[in-house]
Amino acid sequence: MTQIDWPALRAAARAAMERAYAPYSGFPVGAAALTDDGRVVTGCNVENASYGLGLCAECGLVSALYGGAAGAARAARPRLVAVVVVDRHGAALMPCGRCRQVLWEHGGPGMLLETVRGVRSMAEVLPDAFGAGDLTDRA
């Protein structure tokens, strides 16, 4: 099991937040994750003049998980082990509901998240989640 360096993840999330494109909300967000193949992937929110099309930081992070610069070297099905999402002050920010679902897909119930109430598992922040198993069980 890879050791989780929470301060390093927090710093990476903060650095990503500095790169956010959030001219409409004025609310920059950064996210960073440790993967099971030992990488740190990051994302920031990227808004759009068509407001509803804005991308949350976690979406950028998951995109980097698969398509990032280290793409060729990564595991075929990389998994998220630990995630930190921060606001402009570097304080922990709870992922929105949609992003909890996005993170669940790639981290599962055991993925750890630094929350406003300390480190918690995805199973705790998204109880009774819908997931891939629900599709196959009903096929």
Q: Give the footprint of ligand THU on this chain (CB under 6 A).
A: 22, 25, 27, 29, 45, 47, 54, 56-58, 85, 95-96, 99
Q: Is 58 a catalytic residue?
A: yes
Give the ranges where 1-139 is alpha helix by DSSP (H): 6-17, 57-67, 97-107, 122-125, 132-137
d(CA 101, CA 126): 8
Closest to ligand THU by CB, 22 vs 37, is 22
- The distance of closest approach from Cβ of residue 103 to ligand THU in the complex, given in angstroms and rounded to an integer, is 9
Give Cβ neighbours of residue 136 (< 8 Å, ≥ 6 apart). none
Closest to ligand THU by CB, 25 vs 63, is 25
Point out the catalytic residue in the list 18, 47, 58, 105. 58
- The residues annotated with a catalytic role in the active site are 58
